[in-house]
Structure 1
Amino acid sequence: MKVIVFADVTDPWAYIGSTRFERAAAMFSILTGEPVELTFRAFQGEPDEPSEGRLLMEALAERLGGRDKVELINAQVTAAARITGIDLNFDEAVQANSFDAWRLLTWADESGPGFQRDLAHQLWRAHFLEGADIGDHFTLATRAALVGLELETAEALLSSTEYADEVRTQVETGRSLGVTQLPYVAVEGQWTLTGIQSQNDYVQALHQIYTEWKGSAAPEA
């Protein structure tokens, strides 16, 4: 089954939900023998987010109306992440625009199996755990190199406007689909799973979709 996951590398719910879905897809494949081909696509919730090296907590407090509200939201996210086995460190997270990260991720998707997924998780960890600025080109290029992509090619790509149109198209596609919650999972272009769910719920949903998908593909008697 082919699956597209709309996400963002600066969205913690997308990080948590995508991780749960990937694990569910792996379990589903083990149980059924049906491979799941997963591709990430960009959906920027804050497309005009600046990349200025400012602490994320300060920016969110200003946007949402106070640090207390931000800390309450972050506590909920951190608890959900902990259940999933993900560590978050909001105190050191840096505000960043993810547009260039998505240009790199789009290239990674064309570079061979596994590169995009590995890079996405590198960027999520960099942003939410290590306090790295994923709006910075050097940070992006070195993370690409860590997953086996060519450093010089990554640097050249980031210095250009390559894949910019592709990323804009991905974001516009998400808007046309009515994406409001991340992750947004589209299976075989027909079935959708919106927002974060438990790993078990994802497994059950994949089984149901698989049954319907195979049923619709069966030849008529």
Structure 2
Amino acid sequence: MRVEIWSDIACPWCYIGKARFEKGLAAFAHRDEIEVVHRSFELDPNRAKADTAPVIDMLAKKYGRTLEEARAMEEHVASNARAEGLGYRTEGRDHGNTFDIHRLLHLARAHGRQEELLDLAYRANFAEERSVFDPEVLVELAVEAGLDADEARAVLADEDAYADEVRSDEREAAELGANAVPFFVLDRRYGVSGGQPAEVFTRALEQAWQSRGPAPLATPGAAEAGPACDADGACEVQPQS
């Protein structure tokens, strides 16, 4: 059974949601028979590639908050990340356009290294002092994931490389009605929105497994949606259990 996950490296709830999904998957009896595919979704697709800014400054501007309030917002998200055993730096992180990262993730998928690169990119963006908006950092991450440095540089230098794959993922997300990430699609039958608790993912996997076969995609109602970042780049920042 296939699980497709639409996400963006810039989305903290995608980072947290991936960890929660993996815990939910670990508790699923048929976990070894699940294929996980990561799909592209840009939170800020119209942002210029060279336009990066500190996350705290971006949050203050987006939400009309003071810098102190923006830091508090980040701490709320950080507490959720740390509860999942994830590193999370609230200061010194950048925000920017993630199109190049998504293109490299498609290269990694072609080589069977997508999961490795995604984990490294999340860690670099949220837990380490490495900017994923620096092309040389992206090449370093690609090499750490098992990719060839020259091939990674060639992809970054050619703006058309894997661009169609990224755009195709994003069109498909729109067709499925996904306007926030993370967004999980199970067997093209069930949708789970947001960084839900691990047990929600386990139940969803069990339901999808038990009812495999042709059926329309079903998405959860608003009351069931977990914390997420929407297509305008706004992220839910209140504490979640």
User: TM-score scaled to structure 1, two decimals?
Assistant: 0.89
The answer to which structure has the higher helix fraction is 1
1:179 matched to 2:185? The reply is: no
Q: Tell me the amino acid that sits aligned with residue 75 of structure 2.
A: A
Q: What displacement does 1:53 show?
A: 4.3
In the alignment, structure 1 segments of 5+ residues that lack a partner are: 217-221
Match of 1:140 in 2: 138
3-state SS of 1:213 partner: coil
Q: Which amino acid aligns with 2:22?
A: E
Identify the range of structure 1 (101-110 vs 171-180) with the bigger mean alpha-carbon deviation.
Answer: 171-180
2:44–2:96 CA contact under 8 A, matched in 1: no
Contact 1:94 1:132 in 2 (8 A): no
Paired residue for 2:33? 35
- C-alpha contact (below 8 Å) 1:105/1:116 kept by paired residues: yes
| Deviations, residues 144-194 of structure 1 (Å, cap 9, x unaligned) | 100111111101111112011211221122122221332100111111111
In the other structure, the counterpart of 2:205 is 206
Moved over 6 A (4+): none
Tell me the distance in 1 between the aligned counterparts of 2:104 and 2:91. Answer: 26
Asked if 1 retains the 8 angstrom alpha-carbon contact of 2:25 and 2:31, the reply is: no
Return 5+ residue gaps in structure 2 as ranges.
Answer: 216-241
Give the SS at the match of 1:6: strand
Aligned-partner residue type, residue 58 of structure 2: A
Matches within 5 A, 1:48-127: 48-50=46-48, 51-66=50-65, 67-112=67-112, 115-127=113-125
Are the counterparts in 2 of residues 53 and 133 from structure 1 also a CA contact under 8 Å?
no
- State how far apart, in whole Å, the 1-side matches of 2:91 and 2:51 are: 16
1:153 maps to 2:144: no
SS at match of 1:91: coil
Alignment partners' CA distance in 2, 1:126 and 1:154: 17
Q: CA deviation at 1:32?
A: 3.1
Q: 1:83 & 1:107 partners in 2: Cα distance?
A: 32
Moved more, 123-132 or 68-77: 68-77
SS in 2 for 1:39: strand
**Do the aligned residues in 2 keep the contact of 1:132 with 1:139 (CA within 8 Å)?**
yes
Question: Percent same amino acid at aligned positions?
Answer: 28
Match of 1:170 in 2: 169
The AA in structure 2 aligned to 1:148 is G
Q: Is the 8 A contact 1:92 1:130 kept in 2?
A: no
Amino acid at match of 1:182: V
CA shift digits 1:183-214 (9 cap, x unpaired): 10011111111111111221122112111117
Instruction: Write the deviation string for residues 2-21 of structure 1: whole angstroms up to 9, x where unpaired.
Output: 11100001100011101211
The farther-off stretch of 67-76 and 90-99 is 67-76
Match of 1:133, SS?
A: coil
Q: Contact (CA 8 Å) 1:17, 1:182: kept in 2 or not?
A: no
How far did residue 48 of structure 1 move? 2.1
Q: What RMSD over aligned residues (CA atoms) do the two structures have, in Å?
A: 1.8
Distance 1:52 1:130, change over 3 A: farther
What is the match of residue 12 of structure 1? 12
